[in-house]
Structures are given as C-alpha cells and as structure tokens.
Chains A and B, each alone.
Chain A
C-alpha cells in the first residue's frame, strides 16, 4: 500500500519558534509538494521539489523554506513561526506526470 506520512497530526508552537514539518514517501517518487489549506482559500502550493536538492517556489513561499536531501523526504521549515501560519499543512508526492498522493496532514497552531 502506497504511503505518504507526515511527522505529526497536530502541532502547537509559539510565535518565533523554528518549526520543522517532515514528510516521507515510500513510492520512489521524483516530485514532492507542500500545501497549506485554510477555510475559504482552499489548498495553496507553498513549495515543490522535482528532484533531490531541487526546489521551486509555489504560490505562497514567503515565510517558508524547504529541504530535500533524500528522495523520500521533503521537509518544510518555518524559520520564525507567526500566528498567520496557523493552518493545515499537506504533503504530497507524485511520479512524473502522474497523480499526486497526499499525506494525512499536520494541523499546526501557532500561539
């Protein structure tokens, strides 16, 4: 059974903290994605990666960075968390030109 896993389902952090969200896929996919989902705004793409050590900005990259040191792992980093980064974060992976598989999501609350 194919799988995308995310390190936490729920996370609470304080303003100014550095936050790491980890995503791992076991399908040997080239592409990995980070989205955030907010009520009324739908899913918005933050960053994606189409190969190890490669990254591309999505639609809303400000305040985030990413790391892809290994093919199976894609990390989203909030250097200094702010309250407006409270959201549901979703990771996905896909092989070239094929459908994306999503993880269960991490609900992050920044106090």
Chain B
C-alpha cells in the first residue's frame, strides 16, 4: 500500500472549515484513499473514502486531485467535538481483507 504524508498538527477555529491535506504521490490506479479519525481514548472512526471522484457524506467532503497524488479532507463547519487525530490511508481496492496501514496522522485542534 502507498505511503501517505500528513502534517503533524493543525488548528482550526470553531465554525470554520477545516481542510486537512494528504500527499500520496506513489498511489497506484486501484488504490482508494480512506480517512479515519480517532478522538482521544476511543477507537478510530471511519469518515469517508474515494477513488478518483470527489465524495461527500454527512461528516465530510473528500477532494482528490486529478493526478490522485494528493487529497484534502474538508470538515465544513468544525466543532470542538471534531478535535481528534485524522488518518489518511491508501488501500488496494482489490484486496479482500480490508487491511489498513495507519501512519501518524494529523492532530486537529478545534479552538473556540
């Protein structure tokens, strides 16, 4: 699975959009981009995933560049409860086991 690079930490004001970048320059054609987050003392939580088209759900939007070498997770109106570590992961879509490789993630601090 391709490696990902994320900033170690970011701050965001409450009510503003949080834009979390991820580089995955070695991604291959059948690898999906997944985002998870982990709130302190809880297990990771799935947010969203995509292959090449932009995706949106009730939690967030995922913007993937045309060359697929990077992506951005957008939380449109961040709240204090969105403070967490956010993980960007690329995974082979043809794998049946769903194995994920977690990196260090980005610690997002939402401030009042």
Once A90-B44, A92-B43, A105-B42 are accepted as A-B contacts, the answer to whether A100 and B104 lie under 8 Å apart by CB is: no
Are B95 and A101 within 8 A (Cβ)? no
Interface residues of A in 70-105 (CB under 8 A from B): 90, 92, 94-105
Once A42-B105, A43-B102, A99-B34 are accepted as A-B contacts, the answer to whether A56 and B43 lie under 8 Å apart by CB is: no
Partner of A50, one of B34, B49, B97, B104: B97
Are A90 and B43 within 8 A (Cβ)? yes
A23-58: contact bitstring with B at CB < 8 Å (1 yes, 0 no)? 000000001010100000011110010100000101
Are A43 and B96 within 8 A (Cβ)? no
Measured between alpha carbons, how far is A41 from B49 in the docked complex, in Å?
A: 24
Partner of A100, one of B46, B95, B103: B46
Partner of A31, one of B49, B94, B98, B103: B98
The reply on B81 being an interface residue by CB < 8 A is no
Q: What residues of A have a CB within 8 angstroms of the CB of B97 in the complex?
A: 31, 48, 50, 56, 96
B95-112: contact bitstring with A at CB < 8 Å (1 yes, 0 no)? 111111111110000000
Measured between alpha carbons, how far is A45 from B97 in the docked complex, in Å?
A: 13
Interface residues of B in 19-38 (CB under 8 A from A): 34, 36
Measured between alpha carbons, how far is A66 from B59 in the docked complex, in Å?
A: 34
Measured between alpha carbons, how far is A95 from B97 in the docked complex, in Å?
A: 8
Partner of B46, one of A35, A97, A99: A99
Are A94 and B43 within 8 A (Cβ)? no
Contact surface of B with A, Cβ cutoff 8 Å: 34, 36, 41-46, 49, 93-105
14 of the cross-chain contacts (CB-CB < 8 Å) are: A31-B96, A35-B102, A42-B103, A42-B105, A43-B44, A43-B102, A50-B96, A50-B97, A90-B44, A96-B98, A100-B36, A100-B44, A102-B45, A105-B41
Contact surface of A with B, Cβ cutoff 8 Å: 4, 31, 33, 35, 42-45, 48, 50, 56, 58, 90, 92, 94-105
